[in-house]
Amino acid sequence: MEKKFRIAIVGCGGMGSGHAVALQSGTGETVYKGDVASAKMPDSAMTTYLGDMIELAGITDIDPARVEWAVSQGISVYGDYQEILADKTVDAVLIATPNHLHKPMAIAALRAGKHVLCEKPVMLSSADLLDVMEEAHKAGKVFYPRQNREWDEDFLIIRKIYEEELLGKTFEIRCRIMGARGIPGDWRGKKEFGGGMMYDWGVHIIDRIVKMVGKPPKSVFCDLKYITNEECDDNVFVHMTFEDGLTVRLEVDTCHFVSLPLWNLFADHGSAEIQNWNCDGRMMRLSSWQDKDALPIVAGSGLTKTMAPRTKDTLTELPLPRFDFDRNALYKNFVETCQGKAEQIVTNEHALRVLKVIEACFESAKRQEVVTYKE
């Protein structure tokens, strides 16, 4: 039987504790009660059982309460990060610390001969990622960005509609991540730690769009708001334009109390809507553009024929395509990449492009104007 791949985790907060429980249980899934993670069996038959390939070596954290929690879960605890790096039985380090620590911890791990799986955003700048990529190359080790949202079902649905042109050629996509609790009251609200919603959720939806479209935007406009926090952005709006005319609107909102659809896709022969994380929604496909005539409807104090809805005989309502998917695909690919058995799916080159788009967003928000994206 092949030796299990041993991973140690640095940082045992919300994300780190989730990783710890997922890897210890082998299910790869967690549920939360407050800030405490616990194991949940996967509801997908495709989900890889991680216990056959990965062993959790242990965790380290500077917070005594988190260390106490780990002990209560039967998880081994290292005294500090240096102890992990000195442990020759550890194959890889999973970095789940505040964002500003990702670079120094990744470099230290690579120089200690460890592979690295790093939480998003992998770095706070494209220059930092280039430095880490160079260190990984010199060490002959894998540095793997944990940008995991391309395996989510909502993304798989919208990508299929886009790539296979199920509703014709897409001309606009909208994605909204909406909450109503402001920025969490921890390091994510501190600029010095790399906080803010652009780095928390903006990175996810930009990652997905860049992955789906397969190329960077031509231009970017971004607006950041600071409603509940003076230091860090708590609401993000991004408008991207691509060479083929496609436009993408992305929103991350933490102060919205009436939710809008998670996804909208508009194409020349139909539209699609995904309402929520459960992937409730529908597609509406146009039978023909030839029937353009319509009776006027009352619109406020006047009439409109232009905006009158289509009659049912010219539209067909269709269910969204659905997917069974492997929730543990990223963990599996990381291990197999480190073992030389697979190609890295979430590449550093892709993560670099995502960071450059984010940098263009910050530049646009600062200047309050459209900026041209540069590779």
Give the pLDDT confidence of 194-230 residue by residue, as tens digits: 999 999 999 999 999 999 999 999 999 999 999 999 9
Mean pLDDT of all residues in 321-335: 91
Mean pLDDT of all residues in 11-35: 76
Are residues 297 and 170 located together in one domain of the fold? yes
Radius of gyration of the chain from Cα atoms? Answer: 23
Tokens of 31: 């549920």
Are residues 175 and 92 located together in one domain of the fold? no
Residue 325 near residue 93, CB atoms below 8 Å:
no
Are residues 134 and 47 located together in one domain of the fold? yes
As for how many domains the chain has, the answer is: 2
Alpha-carbon gap, residue 198 to 97, rounded angstroms: 17
Are residues 136 and 246 located together in one domain of the fold? no
Are residues 155 and 192 located together in one domain of the fold? yes
In a domain, 314, yes or no: yes
**What confidence tens digit (pLDDT) does each residue in 263-296 have?**
999 999 999 999 999 999 999 999 887 766 678 8
Are residues 243 and 194 located together in one domain of the fold? yes
Domain that holds residue 119: 5-149+327-343
Mean pLDDT of all residues in 221-243: 96
Host H or E run for residue 143: strand 143-146
Are residues 171 and 135 located together in one domain of the fold? no
In a domain, 351, yes or no: no
Split at pLDDT 50, 70, 90, the class of 41 is very low
Per-residue model confidence (pLDDT) at position 38: 52
Residue 369 near residue 239, CB atoms below 8 Å:
no
Alpha-carbon gap, residue 293 to 63, rounded angstroms: 67
